[in-house]
Amino acid sequence: MKQIIVFGYSVMSLEVMKRLNSKQHTLLFVSESDEEAERIIEQGFNTTVIDFRNDDELKAIGIGSSADIIFCFYPTDSDNVFLTISARALDKELSIIAIVDDPESAEKLLAAGANKIIDPYEICAKRTHNMLTKPDVTNMLDNTVFGQHDLNIAQIEIPKGSYLEDSKSSDLGLAEKYNLILIGIVDRELGDALHFAISEKKHILNAGDVLVVLGPSNEIKHFKEAVNGGYICWN
């Protein structure tokens, strides 16, 4: 039975843990605080609170001895690079899988010792295109793979009078406020093409623009209500 350790609380890390077969793996989530640990425990997973920057604490949870695989899912690429370097120094045979926010960081993670890089924008690109051009295909996916684990992609149009008008896409803070990922933006002034968020860091939002987001259905609902109601939901 392989021992897997997951670092970094996010939609992606929760989805990975839900998909792992408990009969084939032992799973441990590394929390950054007691509050985060409580949320993980409520969802049925084992967790511990450590400082991932401390090698002795990494050793104490099995890195360098019993751990077989780690997932580095921190929202900041620099944290994932640091963790990868530390873990690789402790165990040359450890399998390290890391998520990347900026594609330019992928080479740094590979150089640091990661075995595999996960780019969520690349993963979602084809499905997002289908959503905009082939709604029937999207409905089928929502009712099968994505629907089973409450991970959905939604289009949210910005109405006139929304608090988002004239704001920057880089200031949305969807991960912190709603646990959502911004996949891309359809700028109506430029047509119906989807512009992926990773290249739209300074995009000015206007009424009629469409935000394409990924995340749990209840968080999508809260964000959509905020966009349409003109208020910011902090839950």
| pLDDT, tens digit (0-9, with 9 covering 90-100), for 141-162 | 454 444 444 567 788 889 988 8
> Which tens digit of pLDDT belongs to each residue from 101-113?
877 788 899 999 9
Q: Which fold has domain 122-229?
A: Alpha-Beta Plaits (3.30.70)
Q: How confident is the model at residue 78 (pLDDT cuts 50, 70, 90)?
A: very high
pLDDT for res 128: 53
What integer is the mean pLDDT of 33-44?
93
pLDDT for res 112: 93
- Return the bridge partners of 117, or none: 98
pLDDT for res 147: 45
Is the pLDDT confidence value at 93 over 60?
Answer: yes
In whole angstroms, what is the distance from residue 170 CA to residue 211 CA? 12
What is the dotted CATH code of the domain comprising 2-118? 3.40.50.720
Least confident of 40-49, 123-132, 163-172: 123-132
What integer is the mean pLDDT of 207-235?
77
pLDDT for res 91: 96
Is the pLDDT confidence value at 11 over 60?
Answer: yes
CB 72 within 8 A of CB 30: no
Closest CA relative to residue 131, chosen from 37, 17, 211: 211
Considering 52-61, 185-194, 198-207, the range whose residues carry the highest mean pLDDT is: 52-61
What are the residue boundaries of the structural domains of the chain, listed by start?
2-118, 122-229
Closest CA relative to residue 6, chosen from 22, 29, 35: 29
Higher pLDDT, residue 205 or 102: 205
What integer is the mean pLDDT of 104-130?
74
In whole angstroms, what is the distance from residue 54 CA to residue 57 CA? 5
